[in-house]
Structure 1
Amino acid sequence: MLHDLFEEERRHVTLGPGATLLGGFVRDIADDLIHHIHELSARTPFRHMETPGGKRMSVAMLSCGHLGWITDRTGYRYTDFDPLTGKAWPAFPLLFLDLAQRAAQEAGFRNFVPDACLINRYQPGARMSLHQDMDERDLTAPIVSVSLGLPAIFLWGGLHRTVRPKRHQVLHGDVVVWGGASRMIFHGVDVLKNGQHPATGDIRFNLTFRKVN
């Protein structure tokens, strides 16, 4: 009972203007989302990309949708095909598109139509340093970020990298949506701790939906 009350209290947490943590928003469809991730990774594998500075990212990634995000020595960018396979990125599963639009609307953003979804796979020791999502042409649309599997610490900073970030735990089925005045906030994920989750083992998956064009 106390656990249920706690979950209800954290269901909507305001991180800033235009930024909301929706606790447990997709918990009821989490198993289906994970199934789709495995199907997608069989078609376009997860890979550890390289930053323009030559650093190997600790998080493994793949994309689906009309566009996919990549990074290598030539820079950060979106492409309409997977350079690893030479084929178009897999289309969104319908469930992906539905959840992204429902979450955006719940957070106050209507008519969100993403054209890219970056899927991140974290294992213990992986992290995502503070950054801004700034490779999209359309900066009026929100980012919708879905957490599955192991819990993580989501870092929520400011409009400058020097702002000390606040720490928010994100659990299996949580969704964070940010846009408007918070669209260019620096954010990241702290080092993932060891653990086991019934749905994913020692892995955390993160789906981030974006409208690029």
Structure 2
Amino acid sequence: MRAENLAEPLKIAGFEIFKDCLTPEEQSTMVADLRAVAQVAPMRHPVTRWGKQMSVKMTSAGRLGWISDKRGYRYEARHPDGMSWPPIPQRILDLWQSKTNLARQPDCCLINFYGEGARMGLHQDNDEGDFSYPVLSVSLGDDGLFRMGGTERGGKTQSVWLSSGDVVVMGGTARLAYHGVDRIRFGSSSLLPDGGRINITLRVVADSN
């Protein structure tokens, strides 16, 4: 990680944003790790509980993976195709430890891919069993316009462009804050040959299942 990451993060509405956190080499290596995960547990477009297909594609690594379908949102020990989720790559676990200083490792590494036109509406990460642990987010590839709100839907929001290599920690007052990605600047990064944005989020699920 870059030496400048010893500096204080940018703080917006309780969100800690570490700009330019990963070197280009670290980003490329992390993408390779994620491609290996997707070879074992293929990405797919999930549907919401109302049957609407999401614009992002998803897969997971770790003890549990996040699932969305007509039965609702939840964590499961197996991919919808039946296989176990692959382990979280060590480099990603190292990043979690360096940014959170927690001995407790995440149970889930959710991997989202945003192609051209994809977005993620405002939502809370509230399917976990213990909200005292933060959520850590990593951006790779094209820039994404990240919108942050409070713990109540419909309140005031603020937005910031996240670039490849940026890391966000959502803990404390931001742990249950609404957030989303309004759009991406498709083709703004050369990290992914065909364009697009990868976002990973690391979550401690605890004993909710």
Calculate the TM-score normalised by the size of structure 1: 0.89
CA RMSD in angstroms comes to: 1.7
Distance of 1:199 and 1:191 partners within structure 2: 18
Alpha carbons 1:125, 1:193 under 8 Å: kept: no
- What is aligned with 2:120? 128
Distance 1:97 1:75 in 2: 28
2:13–2:149 CA contact under 8 A, matched in 1? no
Cross-structure match for 1:4: none
1: CA distance, partners of 2:80 / 2:115: 24
Match for residue 203 of structure 1? 196
CA-CA distance at 1:197 after TM superposition: 2.2
In structure 2, what is the equivalent of residue 51 of structure 1? Answer: 48
Question: Can you give the 5+ residue segments of structure 2 that lack an aligned partner in the other structure?
Answer: none
Aligned length: 200
Q: Displacement, 1:126? A: 0.3
Partner of 2:84: 88
What is the alpha-carbon distance in structure 2 between the residues aligned to residue 47 and residue 199 of structure 1? 21
Match of 2:11 in 1: 14
Segments of 5+ residues of structure 1 without an aligned counterpart are 1-6
1:196 Cα offset (Å):
4.6
Distance 1:72 1:55 in 2: 9
Partner of 1:99: helix, strand, or coil? helix
Task: Find the partner of 2:106 among 103, 106, 114.
Answer: 114
Counterpart code for 1:26:
L
1:38-187 superposed matches below 5 A = 38-84=35-81, 86-105=82-101, 110-187=102-179
The alpha carbon displacement at 1:26 in A equals: 2.0
CA distance in 1, matches of 2:72, 2:63: 20
The sequence identity of aligned pairs, in percent, is 38
Moved over 4 A (4+): none
Kindly provide the amino acid, as one letter, of the partner of residue 85 in structure 2. Answer: W
